[in-house]
Amino acid sequence: MKNHELKYNIYFEIELLCFISRLLALAPFSIQKANSAARGKSFQYSDIILTTFQTILILVGFCISELFVAVIDEPVLLSTIRTMWFISSVSYHTTCIVTLILNVTIHRQYLPRILNSINVIDSKLCLRDNREKLFRTRRSSRTKQLSLITLILGINSALSFCFSFNRGIVYNAYTILRTLCNVIFFLIIFQYITLVLVLKTRYEQIYSTLSKLLFTDGTSHDVSVKFNSRRRISILAFNLDVKSRTEDVFMIRDLRQIYSQLHDVLLLINKYYGTTILLVIISILLNLTPSIYLGIILFKDTIVYRHELKQYIESVLLLCWCVSIIFMYVWLNSCCHLVTDEVYKLMVCIHRIQLLPNVTHGTVVELNAFTNQLRDIRVEFSVCGLFALNLQFLCASFGVITSYILVLIQL
């Protein structure tokens, strides 16, 4: 049974993401389970070499892209657009380089700490009987999400290579390096989204466990209760005996401890990804403004003046790239907002349990303490303490982008 628990855990859930991250020099995911620390150290030098190689490729791609922008003679490329394009390109490539460097230096041990903490939480939340089914379902979800990212990148890459066809070796090299940078950038965002969704599933388990009291008049129903040496029960096991209603108190207290541990994991995620996500958001906002503007202008010119196929592909490529970035940005903020909604659902569930007729005084006291804990220990994905990722921030940032695009159109 112990080997069964070691196999089906958080590492099993994100195994495919770990493999792809190793290939792209995102080093923290190259460290495997806690019991394979020696093997993790053996990867350190190869990670450093691969990171250095990836950094050089990204720098070369940045230099080539700025060279192309400087020599392009297009009337729609105003000096303002050229400046914004240069700044956005600097931000975009800097995000990838800084993330790669941080992952092999000061941030190298953060992710194993996060995953090990989640393993401890899973040992309390997941029953042994359905552990395999649960983690296989989660693994399947992560694989489908990763396939979606692959499809988005594949479409953009195909359009890029169609546009660069027969345009020379230098431009083809630039397309390859740009594609590499795009893959790294998207994978950085997906890593963060994956950790957010991992937390979301654990909060959903807490809600599922607590909501069972709603269908029992505030008492527990299951004859298969077994006490451990500390007189504590499993949080998913209940008792039919009315005299043992104090077990509800133990169950709620266990949930409170798990909630506190999940908040510690949340703080680690905010600390580990704070700088990276800040750079990602800055890059997205800086890239979207000139890209959307230029894509709209080019698409309008191709329709009005009936340019050749190359101009159509260029405009469609820019607009597809904008749609892809917007999708990832919306997905990022939506996932963070859904996690905070799970905490709100917990508070609603607690208030509904307190209204049941047969709830004991001890249960009410523990539920009140849980309510205070949910109110005082807020769940939010903060970016370096500057702002929180949610739908409100998403709408505000889209408002800023729209305003700048309207200003550029009027120039």
Q: Which phi and psi (to 5°) does residue 231 adopt?
A: 60, 35
Q: Which two three-digit tokens encode residue 345? A: 């659902």
Confidence of residue 14 (pLDDT cuts 50, 70, 90): confident
Model confidence, pTM: 0.85
Provide CB contacts within 8 A for 59, sequence distance 6+: 93, 97
Q: Which phi and psi (to 5°) does residue 3 adopt?
A: -65, -35
Composition of the chain by helix, strand, coil, percent to 5: 80, 0, 20
> Hunting for tokens 């190359």 — which residue is that?
310
How far lies 119's CA from each of 13, 32, 263, 264, in Å? 11, 13, 14, 13
Question: What integer is the mean pLDDT of 350-377?
Answer: 85
Say how far apart CA 308 and CA 314 lie, in whole Å: 11
Q: Which phi and psi (to 5°) does residue 85 adopt?
A: -65, -40
- Model confidence pLDDT, tens digit, residues 87-106: 888 888 899 999 888 888 87
Q: Taking the alpha carbons of 37, 42, 48, 51 in that order, is the dihedral positive or negative?
A: negative
Contact indicator for 135, 9 with CB cutoff of 8 Å: yes
Distance from the Cα of residue 5 to its chain's centroid = 25
| Full DSSP string of 259-310 | HHHHHHHHHHHHHHHHHHHHHHHHHHHHHHHHHHHHHHHHHHHHHHHT--HH
> Hunting for tokens 């990836």 — which residue is that?
54
Looking at residue 310, what is its pLDDT? 67
Higher-pLDDT residue of 358 and 178 is 178
Q: What is the DSSP letter of 231?
A: S
Say how far apart CA 395 and CA 333 lie, in whole Å: 10
The two beta strands, 387-388 and 382-383, are antiparallel
Residue type, position 301, single letter:
D
Contact indicator for 113, 203 with CB cutoff of 8 Å: no
Region at 128 (left for phi over 0; alpha for psi -120 to 50; beta for the rest)? alpha
161, 165, 170, 171: CA torsion to nearest 10 = -50
Least-confidence region, from 80-84, 248-252, 272-276, 386-390: 80-84
Domain range summary for the chain, segments of one domain joined by +: 2-410
H or E stretch covering 339: helix 309-354
* pLDDT exceeds 80 at position 243: no
Give the mean pLDDT of the chain.
Answer: 79
